[in-house]
Amino acid sequence: MERAGIDRGAVARLAEETLDWRFKSVPGGLFGLTVREAVARRPGLFRDGFVGPVVALDNEAVEHNLETMASWCAERGLALAPHGKTSMAPSLFARQIDHGAWGLTAAAVGQARVYRAFGVSRVLFANALVDPGGLAWLVGELADPGFEFVSWVDSVRAVELMTEGLRDAPRAVDVLVEVGIAGGRTGVRDQSTARAVAAAIERSPVLRLAGVGGYEGPAGSDGGDESLAAVDAFLRRVRETVVMLRGRFETERVIVTAGGSAFFDRVADALTAPWPAGLTVLPVLRSGAYITHDDGFYRDISPLGAHPRLTEAPPLRSALRAWAQVTSRPEPGLALLAVGKRDVPYDLDLPEPQVLRNAAGTHALNGARVTALNDQHAFLALEDDSTVEVGDWVGLGLSHPCTVFDKWQLVPLTGTDGETVVDLVRTFF
């Protein structure tokens, strides 16, 4: 499977950006240096005074996750188009492509524009693109013959709006009929609607019916048997839709895509099972959170998490950690950390206290939990009042990487000691 392209020069030029007050947590001692110059110094999170709170990435864990997912997809015959929205970090996009990513998935025009600014050559748009401004932007991008764009649609009206917005496009745009779940997000709810949407695509002079897509996440809330059965039932509907539309696809290769980061094992089974003779299918997985994994939702539900459903690949590793300082001990059993909703995710789980760093070194922190977050404070409940003191640092595991990166424009990438900065990852949200 041909991997996507990316503008390596544009990615490399990120290292020429000058560090200053725009980047929270960057120490003043690095102001005025370029990213390249700062990284060459191998600064330390603590010895060089990074300003707390700070979220850092473990480089070894990131590389392990990249290699694990790439190898597993290759062995299963899956193309991988990871959701770039997880990080919105071009340097991480490049690493995903280096590991064989077929493309990048976007859910919004703003994301796709970032991809294209860095020369990403193949974008899977997991949404219906009906915004006039977005369609006008796409018309301009289609002038690049090396750019491939695939969009979803789930209604005849969406086809009509795309057709109108793309009337001046230099070439046709491939689209997929999206299959949805009752009570869930977007996507057709029945086969008659799927047929009607497919017919509308066929009538459009600027669109080509290229496959079927969907997202299984809303079908299951955990890794239990009931959730897995519901995910499998949804994936059967995706397959049934592909078979129903056989003979109507306008491309030689039919794209069939699903897959978040919670049930990619079930997606692989469904998409790589035998297809009817004469139907050439490219199965595409869109998982994105695998690159960092986490210490919460995905740790608990991923097929390569703490309770693995797969045995042919090693478990993924959490690559994210937030460091926050204890700034107050106002009452027994309570400490306040200088980190809050502006800095760490809280939509799925609260941060998990894991380690304590004080004058005695860094060691496990037991008997502590975060009970609430304000904008800039975390409430840390303590079983042992002698555990932490004002000035100590607490290392926090995080849940749901998609709501970590959006809070940080520059994320330190640390080496084997967890403190020495080996790169600074720029994000664009």
Instruction: Determine if the pTM surpasses 0.95.
Output: yes
Task: Per-residue pLDDT tens, the chain, 429 aa: give them.
Answer: 799 999 999 999 999 999 999 999 999 999 999 999 999 999 999 999 999 999 999 999 999 999 999 999 999 999 999 999 999 999 999 999 999 999 999 999 999 999 999 999 999 999 999 999 999 999 999 999 999 999 999 999 999 999 999 999 999 999 999 999 999 999 999 999 999 999 999 999 999 999 999 999 999 988 899 999 999 999 999 999 999 999 999 999 999 999 999 999 999 999 999 999 999 999 999 999 999 999 999 999 999 999 999 999 999 999 999 999 999 999 999 999 999 999 999 999 999 999 999 999 999 999 999 999 999 999 999 999 989 999 999 999 999 999 999 999 999 999 999 999 999 999 999
CB atoms within 10 A of CB 149: 21
Contact 382, 388 (CB under 8 A): yes
* Level-2 CATH architecture, domain 103-287: Alpha-Beta Barrel (3.20)
3-state DSSP assignment of residue 90: helix
Please tell me whether residue 152 adopts helix, strand or coil conformation.
Answer: strand
Domain spans of the chain, in order of start: 8-58+316-426, 103-287
Q: Is 8-58+316-426 a domain of CATH 3.40.50.360?
A: no
H-helix or E-strand spanning residue 231: helix 225-244
What DSSP designation does 305 have? S
Pairing of strands 368-373, 378-382: antiparallel
- Tell which residue, 153, 259, 138, has the closest CA to residue 209: 153
